[in-house]
């Protein structure tokens, strides 16, 4: 069974777009709404933090996502058709071999599958500069990273393998 519109946790709809406001024409028998021509396409869906993948379900694949451990909530994103993205494991100290002690950086890995790449699972690592120490703030921070990677996967089927996130911008690291 394919995912339905009501299954989405976030619906990016013209009604929530602040760049325009519908023009209402009230007549004696009905209310008519006219949409600008560029918003006449179907709304885009974004599924968030699921364990049953709508993308895999739509393609007839096993759709329950496995976890490495039970650390934290599931952080995942999908457009329901072309790809899904999942946090692989908890953040770890970066660099891990640092002899001078703890750094203020962590690294985190995400896995993604994009239809344009077949059914291959790809990995992307994100270095977090000065992330929150833990708890809800860290979970929100990781969700923001997932949102930024989601946006990149909407534009390209392949992501570079290494990014850096400085609390605002996600940018590729060249090595």
Q: What is the pLDDT along the chain (175 residues), one digit of tens a residue?
A: 555 554 454 444 433 333 333 433 344 444 444 444 444 444 456 778 878 888 888 888 887 877 666 777 889 999 988 999 999 888 998 887 766 577 889 999 999 999 999 889 999 999 999 999 888 999 999 999 999 999 999 999 999 999 999 988 999 998 7
pLDDT at 89: 87
Which two three-digit tokens encode residue 88? 């692989």
Q: For the whole model, what pTM was predicted?
A: 0.72
pLDDT at 22: 40
Q: How far apart are CA 26 and CA 40, in angstroms?
A: 21
Count Cα neighbours of 140 within 13 Å in the Cβ-side half-sphere. 7
pLDDT at 151: 94
The set of residues, in sequence order, having a beta carbon less than 8 Å from that of 4 and lying 6+ positions away, is none
pLDDT at 45: 65
The set of residues, in sequence order, having a beta carbon less than 8 Å from that of 145 and lying 6+ positions away, is 108, 110, 126, 128, 165, 170
Q: Return the SS3 of 98.
A: coil
pLDDT at 60: 86
Beta strand residue intervals within 13-161, DSSP E: 23-26, 31-34, 44-48, 76-78, 83-87, 92-94, 105-114, 122-129
């Amino acid at each position: 069974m394919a995912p339905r519109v009501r299954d989405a946790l976030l619906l990016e709809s013209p009604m929530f777009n602040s760049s325009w406001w519908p023009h209402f024409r009230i007549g004696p028998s009905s209310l008519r709404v006219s949409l600008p021509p560029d918003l006449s396409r179907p709304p885009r869906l974004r599924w968030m933090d699921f364990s049953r993948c709508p993308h895999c379900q739509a393609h007839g694949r096993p759709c329950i996502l496995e976890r490495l451990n039970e650390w934290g909530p599931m952080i995942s994103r999908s457009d329901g058709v072309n790809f899904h993205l999942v946090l692989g494991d908890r953040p770890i100290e970066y660099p891990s071999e640092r002899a001078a002690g703890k750094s203020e950086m962590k690294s985190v890995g995400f896995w993604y599958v994009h239809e344009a790449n077949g059914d291959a699972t790809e990995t992307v690592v994100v270095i977090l500069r000065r992330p929150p120490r833990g708890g809800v703030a860290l979970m929100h921070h990781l969700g923001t990273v997932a949102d930024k990677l989601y946006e990149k996967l909407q534009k390209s089927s392949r992501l570079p393998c290494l990014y850096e996130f400085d609390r605002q911008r996600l940018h590729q690291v060249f090595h």
